[in-house]
A and B are shown apart, each in its own frame.
Chain A
Amino acid sequence: MKFLKFFSILIVISLLLLSVYVPAKTFLRATTWDEAEGVKWIKEVFAKYEKLHPDIKINVQSVTQGYDDKIITSLAGGTPPDLFMWWDYPRLASLDVLEPIENIVDLNKIDPMLVKWVTYNGHVWGVAKDWTTRVIWYNKEVFDKYGVPYPTDDWTWEEFREVAKKLTHPEDKVWGFLVSPDPYDWEGYIKMNDGDYLSPDASTMDGYLNSKETIEAVKFLTNLYLVDGVSPSPSIISASGGSYAMFESGKVAMIDSGSWFIGYMKSRHPGLTTKELAKKFGCVFPPHPEGKEVKIMLHNAAWVVPKKSRHKKEALEVLKFLAEEGGRTMAEAGWALPINTEIAKEMGLYDDQILGTFLRILPHSVEDPSFLKRADWNEKFAQYIGDAFDLIMLKKASVEEALNKAVEESEKALKRK
């Protein structure tokens, strides 16, 4: 009995000593919408950080369904992750739940366009991780089949229309170009034509959404579907498995999209390299109006740190590391484009047939996208633009009527608040 007592005291003392000597690890929680492969690369990057900081361990949480809801609920409940992926910065920044990082993290190594696209209301809200510009992907087999020469980076809207029409063959169930229904995607075309969604002071759409230039741009896009008939209808798209399925199988010759197509193809053909992809598919700059410069929308998701994070200081240190690392790990793995374009130059990515296009068009990104100008962009503006596009595509209203209606609805909504 005495021995047992002695033994248990010994255990307790040694445990106490152990807890003092073993450095207490700080656990950080990082949440992302990435799936298995994306998470793998995130963990690789974080592993490098953990090597430099053995007292930190970052747990990566992948939420593939209901990501927005999960983040919002955790923020509302006061237990947010220490860092998480986000893209709609105004929505959270305007509610004061994110930590601005421009005075804490050195952003010099990141391409300035990618920093601009994480800026809202004069502050920078995160370190970019996944970004893509938009290009016109084209299916080389379809072009070969109908004897149409491949497009180049410098083509006009009129030339584009002709190419799309030449590639449209309803008897073969092949369409020239798939028109996307998302106002976000169209902003590039509108800005290319010197139009805009919003006034420079972001107070109204009147005079901008319904300006001659914007109407022209919207007409260009919608006429591809309504007049030229080069685009399949939404019901055909959804019944055929989506735009990428139609494009891959050659039912659609061209699509306006980002680098996600590469990820889509890689998941269907494991081990696919961009060199092999380039054998069947190519990508070029989108067409521009005669005499005007091409402009495209960017998609830029970043790691953000919530103000209420329990380990804010440590999370910000991780952001500093990521800003310095520049996306090298993921770029070398062929998973994503680096956020530091110097690394891309170093790796020779500018010479890659496919990745090079995405990199070269980056400086042509829209400099002041509408969604980054107002926190209520979706509620008071974008939803009416979306309704307008629906009406135009359903032939229920002309472009002028629909866009003017959208302006009217938006003005009413702004007054009501």
Chain B
Amino acid sequence: MGNRSYFMKKRSSLGKKERLEGYLFILPWITGFIVFTAGPILFSLFLSFHEWHIFDEMKWIGIGNYKKLFTDPLFYHSLKVTFEYAAINVPLVLIVGLLLALLLYPKVRGTSIFRTIFYIPSIVPIVATATLWIWIYNPEYGLLNFFLDKIGIKGPDWLYSTEWVVPAIAFMGVWTVGPTMIIYLAGLEDIPKVYWDAAKVDGANYWQRLWYITLPLLSPTTFFLFITNLMGALQTFAQAYIMGGGGEGFGAPANASLFYCLYLYEQGWSWFNMGYASSLSWILTLIILVLTIIIFKTSNKWVYYERS
């Protein structure tokens, strides 16, 4: 219940002191945020209107970099590569994540062990995973073609082939399905069991329950996971940097694996075109923003919230 005069005191000297303490506590994080995140982000926006090669003077060129973007074939090409990757990877991750969550949902013995096993790959450092997969994908001696050969299929050159390098990296990206699976699991837990019970009584089988009840009620979860996975997929860098062309990197072979962020990195750190690289990163931000807005706008067609 509290003493009225105590609360009055809080608003004056004691309150001020506590507020000050509060600010001091968050000061380290705020400083870090400004110096290492917000500051550089704003600086890159500023840079995108300049020409700068690290060691020379920054030259203001207005929207020059943005104009250059639109006539750059590699800009369009790297977008195409990145979208191709996302088109394969995101649905795969969502489907596999959902499947695993459905398998883990019934609390049979050993569920938590499997949950851990399925989650662990996503916390292995991506560099280690990528290096491992270069071996798995090796056309001559790798595990994948070895097994394909056993069932009579001649495996393609994977990372060394211009057609297969992006699908190869996209399939490997399903390694990170852990968090998606966990979130789907949480979404499943949220569904009141009465719906399934009622459906069972009405004679619905597993697949009908899945299609008419589970999926619609999971749609807010899917909505969230779709957006976050898409955002992540469009920013793919590490796998592309390491695995392209079996390790040759920078879009090998023949720019087939030139992901957008890889192109951005090359512009900035190989050619020192810092202004152009900054403008590339802001265009990506814009693209992701527009896509997210579109997904939000169409969401009331397919996302069912329990309240509404």
* Residues in chain A within 8 A of chain B (CB atoms): 69, 72, 75-76, 95-97, 181, 233-236, 238-239, 376, 378-379, 387, 390-391, 394, 396, 409, 412, 416
Contact of B162 among A234, A238, A394, A416 (CB under 8 A): A394
The segment from B170-178, B183-191, B223-231, B251-259 that touches chain A is B251-259
Interface: B141 (CB within 8 A):
yes
Q: How far is the CA of A239 from the CA of B247 in the complex (A)?
A: 11
Q: How far is the CA of A416 from the CA of B74 in the complex (A)?
A: 12
Q: How far is the CA of A340 from the CA of B255 in the complex (A)?
A: 42
B68 near A416: Cβ-Cβ < 8 Å = yes
Contact of A235 among B68, B140, B255, B271 (CB under 8 A): B140
Contact of B73 among A76, A379, A412 (CB under 8 A): A412
- How close is B157's CB to chain A, nearest CB, in angstroms? 6
Q: Given A235-B139, A236-B140: A97 and B55 within 8 A (CB)?
A: yes
CB nearest to B267 among chain A residues: A379
Contact of B55 among A96, A181, A235 (CB under 8 A): A96
A396 near B157: Cβ-Cβ < 8 Å = no
A233 near B160: Cβ-Cβ < 8 Å = yes
B140 near A239: Cβ-Cβ < 8 Å = yes
Q: How far is the CA of A75 from the CA of B53 in the complex (A)?
A: 12
B55 near A76: Cβ-Cβ < 8 Å = yes
The 3 closest A-B pairs by CB, nearest first: A390-B254, A95-B55, A379-B271
Which B residues touch A416, using CB under 8 A? 68, 71-72
Q: How far is the CA of A26 from the CA of B248 in the complex (A)?
A: 43
A239 near B141: Cβ-Cβ < 8 Å = yes
Interface: B56 (CB within 8 A):
yes
Q: How far is the CA of A238 from the CA of B161 in the complex (A)?
A: 15
B254 near A75: Cβ-Cβ < 8 Å = no
Q: How far is the CA of A76 from the CA of B71 in the complex (A)?
A: 30
B255 near A387: Cβ-Cβ < 8 Å = yes
Which A residues touch B252, using CB under 8 A? 390
CB nearest to B134 among chain A residues: A238
Per the 8 Å Cβ criterion, residues 241-277 of B in contact with A are 245-248, 252-255, 269-273
Which B residues touch A379, using CB under 8 A? 270-271, 273
Interface: B30 (CB within 8 A):
no
Contact of B160 among A69, A235, A391 (CB under 8 A): A235
Contact of A239 among B53, B138, B271 (CB under 8 A): B138
CB nearest to B139 among chain A residues: A235
Describe B's contact surface by its main secondary structure. Answer: loop
- Cβ proximity bits B138-164 to A, threshold 8 Å, 1 near / 0 not: 111110000000000000010111100
Most B CB atoms within 10 A — which of A238, A376, A391, A412? A238
CB nearest to B67 among chain A residues: A416
Q: How far is the CA of A274 from the CA of B35 in the complex (A)?
A: 55
A234 near B53: Cβ-Cβ < 8 Å = no
A391 near B71: Cβ-Cβ < 8 Å = no
B270 near A95: Cβ-Cβ < 8 Å = no
Which B residues touch A235, using CB under 8 A? 138-140, 157, 159-160, 246
- Cβ proximity bits B265-308 to A, threshold 8 Å, 1 near / 0 not: 00001111100000000000000000000000000000000000
B254 near A391: Cβ-Cβ < 8 Å = yes
B271 near A378: Cβ-Cβ < 8 Å = yes
A378 near B270: Cβ-Cβ < 8 Å = yes
Q: How far is the CA of A379 from the CA of B162 in the complex (A)?
A: 22
Can you offer 15 A-B residue contacts whose CB atoms are under 8 A? A75-B54, A235-B140, A235-B246, A238-B134, A239-B135, A239-B141, A376-B271, A378-B270, A379-B270, A387-B254, A390-B253, A394-B161, A394-B162, A396-B254, A416-B71
- How close is B238's CB to chain A, nearest CB, in angstroms? 15
A95 near B141: Cβ-Cβ < 8 Å = no
Q: How far is the CA of A234 from the CA of B134 in the complex (A)?
A: 13
Which A residues touch B134, using CB under 8 A? 238
B254 near A76: Cβ-Cβ < 8 Å = no
- How close is A167's CB to chain B, nearest CB, in angstroms? 20
Q: How far is the CA of A409 from the CA of B255 in the complex (A)?
A: 13
Which A residues touch B157, using CB under 8 A? 235
Q: How far is the CA of A247 from the CA of B110 in the complex (A)?
A: 51
Which B residues touch A96, using CB under 8 A? 55-56
- How close is A91's CB to chain B, nearest CB, in angstroms? 8
Q: How far is the CA of A75 from the CA of B56 in the complex (A)?
A: 12
Q: How far is the CA of A388 from the CA of B140 in the complex (A)?
A: 24
Most B CB atoms within 10 A — which of A376, A390, A396? A390
Per the 8 Å Cβ criterion, residues 54-84 of B in contact with A are 54-56, 68, 71-73
Contact of A234 among B71, B73, B160, B269 (CB under 8 A): B160
- How close is A220's CB to chain B, nearest CB, in angstroms? 21
B53 near A95: Cβ-Cβ < 8 Å = yes
- How close is B67's CB to chain A, nearest CB, in angstroms? 10
B269 near A69: Cβ-Cβ < 8 Å = yes
Q: How far is the CA of A409 from the CA of B72 in the complex (A)?
A: 10
Which B residues touch A412, using CB under 8 A? 73
Which A residues touch B273, using CB under 8 A? 379
CB nearest to A181 among chain B residues: B248
CB nearest to A97 among chain B residues: B55
Q: How far is the CA of A97 from the CA of B272 in the complex (A)?
A: 14
CB nearest to B54 among chain A residues: A76
B68 near A238: Cβ-Cβ < 8 Å = no
- How close is B135's CB to chain A, nearest CB, in angstroms? 8
Q: How far is the CA of A390 from the CA of B157 in the complex (A)?
A: 14
Which B residues touch A233, using CB under 8 A? 139-140, 160
Q: How far is the CA of A415 from the CA of B135 in the complex (A)?
A: 41
Q: How far is the CA of A306 from the CA of B24 in the complex (A)?
A: 43
Which A residues touch B271, using CB under 8 A? 376, 378-379
B254 near A238: Cβ-Cβ < 8 Å = no
* Further contacts, 20 of them, CB under 8 A, given A239-B142, A394-B254: A69-B269, A72-B54, A95-B53, A95-B54, A97-B55, A181-B248, A233-B160, A234-B245, A235-B140, A235-B159, A239-B138, A387-B254, A390-B245, A390-B254, A391-B254, A394-B161, A394-B253, A412-B73, A416-B68, A416-B71
